[in-house]
Chain A
Amino acid sequence: MTVTVVTSPDDSRSIKRELTRSLRRRKLQALVLVAPLLLFILFMFIYPIGGMLLRSVYSPDFARAMPATVAAIAEWPGSGTPPEAAWAGVASDMVALQQRNEAGPVAAALNVEMSGARSLVLKTARNAGKLTAPYREAMVTLDPMWNDARIWQAIKRLSSPVTPRFYLAAVDMKVDEAGSIVSQPEDRQIYRSLFLRTLLISGVVTLCCLILGYPVAHLLANLPLRISNILMIFVLLPFWTSLLVRTTAWIVLLQKQGVVNSLLVWSHVLTDETRAELIFNRTGTILAMTHILLPFMILPLYSVMKTVSPVYVKAARSLGANQFVAFTKVYVPQTFAGVAAGCLLVFILAVGYYITPALVGGESGTLISNMIAYHIQKSLNWGLAAALGAILLTAILALYWTFNRLTKIDIIGLG
C-alpha cells in the first residue's frame, strides 16, 4: 500500500480547493433533489403551524376594535379610576362599534374576563350616541358598573395584543379581576383532566398494543419466510381499509344490540338486561384505538426482531439458562429498540387521535384533540385551540426527549 502525500503548500491548497469544489457540487445536487419537498413542508406545514402557534399568545382583535381606548388606558397605572381620556376613548370606540355593528365580539371577549361585562358593553354601545362630556359621569349614570375598577383592569389586560390568557385557560386557570393568576372554579375545569385522560388512554392503548403485538412480531420474525409473508398480509390488511370503515365496524360489533353483546347473551354470560356498555365510552375508545394502532407496534418490533439472531438464545441455553431466562435476559433486551420505537410511535399517534374517539368515544372517551377540533370548528376560539395544541406538542417533545435519554436509542435521529 502506498500513500501519496502532498508536500508543497501550493499543491495542498489547490487540492483542497478542488475537494471543496467537488463537494459543493454534490451538496448543490442534493439540495435540488430535496427542494420541492422542502418548499412543500415549509409552506404547507411549518408556516401554518407557526401561524397557529402564534395565535396562542398573540390576539390583536380587541386592540384593533378599541383603538382610542387602548391608546388612552396605557397611561393609567391600574389602580383607582382611569383618567377622563380613557372614558372618552371608550365612548368614541363604542360609537364606532355600534355603527359597524361589531360590539358583539368585544362584549364576548370582555365577558370572559369579567362576568356581566357582556350586557354592560352592549348596553353602552347601544346608548353611545347619546353620551356627552364629561363621559365619566355620563357612563356611570348609564350603568354604575363602570365605576368598578375591575372592568377597567379587564380592558387594560385585553388591550395588550400579547397575552398569556389562552395558555392559562388551557390549563384551567385565569387572571382574576384583581390581576392575580388563579384556578378556574371547579365546575369550569375541563382541560387538565382531559389532558390527563388523553395521556392515560394513550398509555393504556400503547400497553395493549405491546402486549398483543410482541408475540405476533416474535412469531413473524421466526417463522419460515413463506408462512410469515402470509401472516404479514394479515397484519397489513387494516392499512388497506379505510379508518372510518374500521371504526364503524367496531360500532356494529360492540353496540348494545351488537354482535359481541348478543353472543354473550346467547352463551348466558350476560342476560338481556345486563348487556355491557362496550362502546361510546372509554372502553370503546381503547378497544378501537388498540386495533387501529396495532400494526404501528408490530412493524417496528418485527424489523428489530428480524435482526436478532436465534444463536443468542441458543448460546444462553447452552450456558445453563432455561427457556424463560434465555428469553427475558437475552432475547427481550435485544428487542428494546423495537419496543421503544413501537411504543413511541403508537403513543404519539394515540395522543393526537381524533376520528376514532369522536365516533366511538361518547362522553367519557373523548380526547384533547376532540376539544381542539371543537374550538377550531364550533366555538371559534382559535387562540385557545392553538394553546391546547401547543401544550400537546410540547408534552410529546418532552416525552420523546426523556424517552431518548432513558433508552439511549435515537429512533428518528432528532434527539
Chain B
Amino acid sequence: MEQGRSIVHFVNVGKTYDGERLIVDDLSLEIARGEFLTLLGPSGSGKTTTLMMLAGFETPTRGQILLNGQEINRLAPHRRGIGMVFQNYALFPHMTVAENLAFPLNVRALGKAEVEARVIRALDLVKLGGFAARRPAQLSGGQQQRIAVARALIFEPELVLMDEPLGALDKQLREGMQYEIRELHQRLGVTIVYVTHDQAEALTMSDRIAVFDQGKIQQLASPTELYEKPRTSFVANFVGDNNLMAAEVDTLRSDHLCSVVLEGGDKVIAVATDDLMPGQKVMLSLRPERLRLDPDAGAGTSSRLKGVIEEIVYLGDHMRIFVRTANQVRFLIKAANKEPHHGLTKGGMLTFGWSAQDCRALPV
C-alpha cells in the first residue's frame, strides 16, 4: 500500500508489561484510509492493547506506530485527533447529552453558534433529536451507545476507534446497532478500527478482519476469505463453527489438492493450503453447513463417510446433527430446514459427503 492510501501503519510493534511476556508480538499492520477494520480475538490476545497503543493510552515497548506518516509513539492522546467509543459508553454522567457532545468542541475552543449547530446535527445523525437536555442515566443502553458514537464523530476525526462498543447490549439491539454503525461508516467515510471478540459481529461489519491470538495476527483478510479460506487452525476454529480433525498428508496431487488420512484410517481429499509434505501432520477444516446429507444428489462430492447419528438438535432454521463414524471421528452437520428430513433419527445410520474444495488441510 502506498503512503497516501494508508492512514495507520504499525511497524514491528511489540508491547510487554512485565518484560517477559509479549502482549503484542512484532505486529505489522497497515490500515487503509476509509476502511472498516476489525481486530478480532479472544480476551488476552492483544487486540485491545493494540487499540490502546493507537489511542495513546499505552506506549509500545518497541517498534513504531505511524499516523498519516508521522510517528506517534509518544504523542499524548489528546493531540492525536482520534475519536474513540468505549465499551461502557463512558458518557460523562454529570453532563447532559448536549454537553457531552459539545465537550470535544469546547476543548477545541469552537464558537458557541458553531458548537450548537454541530450538536444538533450530530443528534440528528444518530436520530436522537429530542434528547439534548437528558442526562446519560435517563437513556437506554442503545441510546447511550448512539450518543457515544456521535460524540466520537462530532469533531470530525479521520479515524475512530471502537472498543467492544456493543458488548453491553442485548442481542437484538446489538444487531440493530451493527447495521447503524456500518451505515454511518459508509455515509461519513471515516476510518474505523473496531475491537470485538464476537466473530459474527466482525463478519457482519468489517471490510477486513485481523484475527489476533497470543499477540500475533493470525490472518488478515476480508470476511469472506476469512470464513471460506482460513489459513490456520486457530482461525478456522475461532471464526464460525467448524469440524476440525487431526490428519496426516498421504500423497500430494498436482491441482493444489492432497490426499490425507484421518485418525482411524479414513482417506479423504482436501485442499493443500500451504507447501505440504507427505507424512506431515495437518488439521482438516470442514464447515458443518458444507457437509451434504445426500451425497449422491449433486455433482462434485469427492469424499463420503458413514456414521451413527448421536444427537439431533433442532434450532428452527437449521438442525445440528452429530455423527460418529466407525473409526470414532465425530462430525457436526448443519442441515438447513428447507425440506423435511424424515429419515433422520437418533441412533440411525447416515451417509454424508463433501466437495474437496470445502475441506482444507491446515499445517499445525
A315 with B90: in contact, given A320-B155, A321-B107 (CB under 8 Å)? Answer: yes
Q: Does A320 contact B84, Cβ atoms closer than 8 Å?
A: no
| Interface residue A196 (Cβ < 8 Å from any Cβ of B) | no
Q: Is the interface of B mostly helix, strand, loop or mixed?
A: loop
1/0 per residue, CB under 8 A from B, across A145-171: the answer is 000000000000000000000000000
Min CB–CB distance A155 → chain B (angstroms): 63
Interface contact A319-B86, CB-CB below 8 Å: no
User: Does any Cβ of A come within 8 Å of B92's Cβ?
Assistant: yes
* B77: A residues at CB distance < 8 A: 314, 317-318
Task: List which B57-109 residues lie within 8 A (CB) of chain A.
Answer: 57, 76-78, 80-84, 86-88, 90, 92-94, 103-104, 107-108
- Chain A residue numbers with a CB within 8 Å of B56 are 317-318
Min distance, Cβ B55 to any Cβ of chain A, angstroms: 6
> Given A309-B88, A311-B88, are A318 and B93 neighbors across the interface (CB < 8 Å)?
no
Contact B90 A321 (CB under 8 A): no
Q: Is B47 an interface residue (CB 8 A)?
A: no
Within 8 A of B (CB), among A312-331: 312, 314-323, 325-326, 329-330
Tell me whether B81 and A320 are in contact (CB under 8 A): yes
* Bound CA–CA A309/B84 (angstroms): 16
The answer on a CB contact under 8 Å between B82 and A318 is yes
B108 to A320, Cβ gap below 8 A? yes
Query: With A311-B86, A314-B57 known to touch, is A334 a contact of B94 (CB < 8 Å)?
Result: yes
**Assembly CA distance A308 to B333 (angstroms):** 49
Which residues between 145 and 165 of chain B lie within 8 Å of chain A, taking CB atoms?
151-152, 155, 161
Please give the distance in Å from A315's CB to the nearest CB on chain B. 4
Categorize the interface residue count of chain A.
20 to 34
Contact with A along B108-136 (1 / 0, CB 8 A): 10000000000000000000000000000
Please report the C-alpha to C-alpha distance between residue A322 and residue B107 in the assembled complex, in whole angstroms.
9
Closest Cβ of chain A to B167, distance in Å, is: 13
A336 to B107, CA, bound (A): 22
Q: How far is the CB of A312 from chain B (nearest CB, A)?
A: 6
Decide: A318 and B76 in contact? CB cutoff 8 A: no
Assess the B84–A318 pair: CB atoms within 8 A: yes
Structural contact, B107 and A315, CB atoms closer than 8 A: no
Chain A CB within 10 Å, residue with most, of B77, B82, B84, B161: B77
B86 neighbours in A (Cβ, 8 Å): 311, 314-315
Interface membership of chain A positions 284-326, coded 1 if the CB is closer than 8 angstroms to chain B and 0 otherwise = 0000000000000000000000000101101111111111011
List B contacts of A314 (CB < 8 A).
Answer: 55, 57, 77, 84, 86, 90
Give the complex CA separation of A334 and B92 in angstroms. 9
How far does the alpha carbon of A315 sit from the alpha carbon of B136 in the complex, in Å?
Answer: 15
Total number of residue pairs linking A and B with CB closer than 8 Å: 67
CB pair A319–B103 under 8 Å, yes or no, is yes
Determine which of A318, A334, A336 lies in contact with B78 in the assembled complex, contact meaning CB atoms within 8 Å. A318
**Are A334 and B103 in contact, with the CB atoms below 8 A?**
no
Residues of A within 8 A of B84 (CB): 314-315, 318-319
Are the CB atoms of B107 and A325 closer together than 8 Å? Answer: yes
Interface of A, helix, strand, loop or mixed by DSSP: helix
CA distance A311 to B93 in the complex (A): 12
Q: Given A311-B88, A314-B57, A314-B86 in contact, is the A319-B94 Cβ separation under 8 Å?
A: no
- In the assembled complex, A134 has its CB within 8 A of some CB on chain B: no
Contact yes or no, A319 B107, CB < 8 A: yes
Q: For window 160-214 of chain A, which residues contact chain B by CB distance below 8 Å?
A: none
- Taking CB as reference atom, which chain B residue is nearest A335? B94
Q: What's the least CB distance linking B153 to chain A, in Å?
A: 11
Report A340 CB to chain B, min CB distance, Å: 13
Given the contacts A309-B88, A334-B94, A318 and B103 also touching, CB distance less than 8 Å? no
Taking CB atoms, residues of chain B closer than 8 Å to A311 are: 86-88, 90
Query: Distance in Å from the Cβ of B228 to the closest Cβ of chain A?
Result: 36
Interfacial chain B residues near A334, Cβ < 8 Å: 92-94
Selected contact of B104 from candidates A309, A320, A323, CB within 8 Å: A320
Complex CA distance for A312 and B83, rounded to whole angstroms: 14
Q: CA A329 – CA B102 in complex, angstroms?
A: 13
Query: Which of chain A's residues have a CB closer than 8 A to the CB of B155?
Result: 319-320
CA gap between A309 and B81 in the complex, in Å: 23
Q: Once the chains bind, are A319 and B151 in contact (CB under 8 Å)?
A: yes
The smallest C-beta distance from B267 to any residue of chain A, in angstroms, reads: 54
Are A330 and B78 in contact, CB atoms less than 8 angstroms apart? no
Q: Give complex CA distance A323, B77 in Å.
A: 10
A333 at the interface (CB under 8 A from B): yes
Nearest-CB residue, chain A, relative to B99: A329
Cβ of B152: which chain A residues have Cβ within 8 Å of it?
318-319
**Residue numbers in B under 8 Å from A329 (CB-CB):** 103
CA distance A309 to B86 in the complex (A): 12
A319 to B108, CA, bound (A): 9
Q: Give the complex CA separation of A312 and B86 in angstroms.
A: 9
Most chain B CB within a 10 A radius of its CB, from A311, A314, A330: A314
In the bound assembly, the distance between CA atoms of A314 and B88 in angstroms comes to 12
Cα distance A325–B155 when bound, in Å? 17
Residues 34-57 of B at the A interface (beta carbon under 8 Å): 55-57
Nearest opposing residue in chain B for A334, CB measure:
B94
Shortest Cβ distance from residue A286 to the other chain B in the assembled complex, whole angstroms: 32
C-alpha gap A333/B103 in the complex (Å): 14
Question: What's the Cα separation between A22 and B161 when bound, in Å?
Answer: 54
**Cα-based distance from A320 to B108 in the complex (angstroms):** 7
Minimum CB–CB distance for B195 against chain A, Å? 14
Q: What per-residue 1/0 map shows which CB atoms of A51-89 lie under 8 Å from chain B?
A: 000000000000000000000000000000000000000
Specify the chain B residue showing the minimal Cβ separation from A336.
B94
* Whole-angstrom CA separation of A316 from B88 in the bound complex: 14
What chain B residues lie within 8 Å of A323 (beta carbons)? 76
Complex CA gap A319/B155 in Å reads 8
Residue in A316, A319, A322, A325 whose CB lies within 8 Å of B76: A322
| A312–B12 CA distance with the chains assembled, in angstroms | 31
Asked whether A330 and B92 contact (CB < 8 A) given A318-B77, A320-B104, A321-B78, the answer is yes
- Enumerate chain A residues within 8 angstroms of B78, measured Cβ to Cβ: 317-322, 326
Contacting residues, chain A, for B88 (C-beta < 8 A)? 309, 311
By a CB distance below 8 angstroms, the chain B residues around A309 are 88, 90
Give complex CA distance A321, B88 in Å: 20
C-alpha gap A330/B103 in the complex (Å): 10
State A326–B103 Cα separation when bound (angstroms).
10
Question: Is A321 a contact of B57 with CB atoms below 8 Å?
Answer: no
What residues of B have a CB within 8 angstroms of the CB of A316 in the complex? 92, 103
Q: Is the CB–CB distance between B93 and A319 below 8 Å? A: no
Ordered by A's residue number, 11 sampled pairs between the chains whose C-beta atoms are within 8 Å are: A311-B90, A312-B90, A312-B92, A317-B57, A317-B78, A318-B55, A318-B80, A319-B78, A319-B84, A322-B107, A334-B93
- 7 closest pairs, A vs B, by CB? A315-B90, A319-B104, A318-B84, A317-B77, A333-B94, A321-B107, A311-B90
